[in-house]
Amino acid sequence: MCPIVWDNGKYQIIGGSYAELYGYYKRTDQTWYFPNLINAITDY
């Protein structure tokens, strides 16, 4: 089974709401916000 990481580009907490924060990939720099998390997901 392949892991799937959903990324909607939202990573900042605005107004105290954590709902729908699935931003893992920083599109402007072409880098990951949380590379250790991505490595853990794809390694196992």
| pLDDT tens figures, 32-41 | 988 999 899 8
DSSP H or E run through 25:
strand 25-26
Q: Where are the domains of the chain?
A: 1-44
Residue type, 37: L
21: pLDDT confidence band, cut at 50, 70 and 90? confident
| pLDDT over 70 percentage in the chain | 100
* CA nearest to 21, candidates 3, 32, 6, 31: 6
As a whole number, mean pLDDT of residues 20-28 equals 87
Does residue 30 surpass a pLDDT of 90?
yes
Cα–Cα dist 30/43, whole Å: 20
16: pLDDT confidence band, cut at 50, 70 and 90? confident
